[in-house]
Amino acid sequence: IDFKELLFTDNDNLGETEFTQPAILLVSVIAHKLFSDKIGIKPTLTMGHSLGEFSALVASGALDAIDGVELVNLRGKLMAEACSKQEVGMLVSLGLSDEVVEQICAEQREAGMQVWAVNYNADGQIVIAGIKKDLEQLVDILKNAKARRAMLLNMSVASHCPLLQSATEPLVEKLQEMIKDEFIAPVVSNVTAKKYSTKAEALELLPEQLVSPVKYKQSIANIDDEVDCYIEFGQGNVLKGLNRKATKKPHFNVSDMASLEKTIEAIKELNE
């Protein structure tokens, strides 16, 4: 992949998941490397949201950065391939409880729809994946159930649901080759919302992650007592918004040189 062209010129490739995933991973890994080189603190644990779990594996020492780029490029290709024979998508529901959204999805699957709750981001914020025409119908069903908002997202794949089953097996071989038993810190699994720190666990959990919901808010709840703060690496600060709803611990983000310096100063103050 020519990252110089991909990241710094106008092109359509960045919208394709096989290119989006390595680009996001690379930017987050570079941000983490700059931070690590400037301040010598070892993470208590690492975690990420969806693709971010692979960035977390790099930060934990279990995956080399170059291997990580190749791995998520393959992951993106496999996901696109799995979704290529039908029009799929994702939507976000705001204002309904987990139980209500799960019940609605289950009822609609009984009626023949292919829709699944796939990202538990925060209380009242759940992402649903599935067949696009089913999701379009689901928007009105969710609104009738008093969702504050239900809208389709601009996504070319249906992440973390059974539609990606065909992508799991080809990923295993590459994981076997690239994941190392050299964790300097545990990684929090999106699948279980619990920590793991062995190659054997990674080989089991990462393929499963493709077809299982991301338990993000559950992960924060499980680890919150173990950490002093959260540091988000990479473009944007989406997780900062989610964490604001889930924890009272400070959250910093490193996305450019200014935020890097700001975060380092804040960490030093925390340690004083």
**Residues 160, 189, 212, 219: which is the catalytic one?**
160
Q: Supply the DSSP symbol for 179.
A: -
Please name which of 124, 130, 128, 119 lies closest in space to residue 99, comparing C-alpha atoms.
124
Tokens of 166: 């065909």
Please, are residues 216 and 49 in contact by the beta-carbon 8 Å criterion? Answer: yes
Amino acid (1-letter code) at residue 2:
D
Contacts of 235 (CB under 8 A, 6+ apart): 24, 27, 28, 255
3 state DSSP class of 125: strand
The reply to whether 32 belongs to the active site is no
**Residues 28, 50, 60, 219: which is the catalytic one?**
50
The reply to whether 251 belongs to the active site is no
**Quick one: which H or E segment has residue 175?**
helix 165-178
Q: Name the residues annotated as catalytic.
A: 50, 160
